[in-house]
Chains A and B, each alone.
Chain A
Amino acid sequence: MNEANDKKQDFSLPALRSGDRAEFARVVDAHSEKIYRLGLKMLHNEQDAEDILQETFIKAYHGFQDFKGKSRISTWLYRIAANEALMLIRKRKNDKQTSLEAARVTAEGEDYTPLNLVDWCCLPEEEYLSAEAINYLDRAVDQLPEAMRVTFILRDIEGLSTRETAQVLEISESAVKTRLSRARLRLRELLSGYYGQKVDTLPVDFNRQGQENLDRT
């Protein structure tokens, strides 16, 4: 989806490098929503997301001279934004946690064996994305270590390919796959805890019971 959108956007790099503000406005217009979303999913704070958004485009405006055009503009913007988000998270972490606490949180997440085997794929549709459920989805992402979190957001929320995610994060494709696999296993486990409870509260075989009641009358 991102690739298709990007191909439609044909920006002039020489114009951007020479400070053409109309061309820059087109870039901002085309990419601001996805950059804001990345910040919001990473930090879960609207003010932080707005700060990341503004900083990303300020850095981009001054950085077009260094942008070689080897990757798409969106990849480059995602890279600036992801770095901004990670820096902000680390700053907050240093403010709030000792490094020992941070290490313990990371070490606790080393086992990815699925424990919850409830099949929660057949809930009523409205249960999946209720306001309460979306809040739970966000809090679950928050529990991922930040390297895993940013990989998951780029790959599964923003829909980037493995290759493009690797370019944004400047890591190998196999590192993307490893991080993504762990993030997905962890989130699946957390979501199973949440949606699994909802399966337990569903009326048992409601339709069949209803039919039996009708048959008796």
Chain B
Amino acid sequence: MKPKENCRQLLSYLSEFIDDELEDQQLCQEIEAHLDQCKNCQVVVDTMKKTITLYNQSADQIGLPSPVRRRLFQRLDLEEYLPD
């Protein structure tokens, strides 16, 4: 893959490349070679990885609030299975 003119082509494979789900090994090597010489594409790859990581981490902060849990068990008529 040549630099610049193939940046756009890389975009369509970027997401699968990041997930390591690209089955075409040659294409994978071409992308890696392109990234070595194209700083802009490297930034896009790095910031996309960071975007995914941040969303994944942000989910860890959401738990099920106790009142929501209690009302759920009440609505389902499962109150007797709620711990005291």
Size of the B side of the interface (Cβ < 8 Å), in residues, is: 38
A28→B75 contact, CB < 8 A: no
Residue in A closest to B13 when the chains form the complex, CB atoms = A181
Which chain A residues border B59 with CB–CB below 8 Å?
37, 41, 157-158
User: Please, which residues of chain B bring their CB within 8 A of the CB of A128?
Assistant: 54, 57
Cβ contact of A188, chosen from B48, B72, B75, cutoff 8 A = B48
Interface range on chain A (Cβ under 8 Å from partner): 35 or more
* Cα distance A27–B59 in the bound complex, in angstroms: 21
B15 within 8 Å of A by Cβ? yes
Which residues in A have their C-beta under 8 angstroms from that of B46? 119, 121
Interface contact A117-B40, CB-CB below 8 Å? yes
Taken together as a complex, chains A and B put the C-alpha atoms of A56 and B71 apart, in Å, by 14
Q: Which residues of B contact A191 (CB under 8 A)?
A: 47, 50-51, 54
Q: Who on chain A is nearest to B49 by CB?
A: A121
Residues on A lying within 8 angstroms of B by beta carbon are: 21-22, 24-25, 28-29, 32-33, 36-37, 40-41, 46, 50, 53-54, 57-58, 61, 112-114, 117-121, 128-129, 133-134, 137, 141, 152, 156-159, 162, 177, 180-181, 184-185, 187-188, 191-192
- Are A121 and B55 neighbours in the complex by a CB distance under 8 Å? no
- Please judge, given known A-B contacts A114-B11, A181-B12, whether A57 and B55 are in contact too, CB under 8 Å: no
Considering the complex, which residues of chain B in the window 27-55 have a beta carbon less than 8 Å from any beta carbon of chain A?
Answer: 40, 43-44, 46-48, 50-52, 54-55
With both chains docked as a complex, state the minimum distance between the C-beta of A52 and any C-beta of chain B, in angstroms: 11
Chain B residues closer than 8 Å to A158, beta-carbon distance: 59
Main secondary structure of the interface of A (DSSP, over half): helix
B58: chain A residues at CB < 8 Å are 129, 134, 137, 157
CB distance from B45 to the nearest CB of A (A): 10
Task: A158-B59, A184-B18 given; name 11 further pairs at CB < 8 Å.
Answer: A25-B81, A28-B72, A50-B68, A53-B68, A112-B11, A114-B40, A117-B40, A137-B55, A181-B14, A188-B44, A191-B47
A116 to B54, CA, bound (A): 18
**29 A-B contacts, Cβ less than 8 Å apart?**
A24-B78, A25-B73, A29-B81, A32-B72, A33-B64, A36-B68, A37-B62, A41-B62, A50-B71, A57-B76, A61-B76, A112-B11, A118-B43, A119-B46, A119-B47, A120-B50, A121-B46, A121-B47, A129-B57, A133-B54, A137-B55, A156-B55, A157-B58, A159-B56, A181-B12, A181-B14, A181-B16, A184-B18, A188-B51
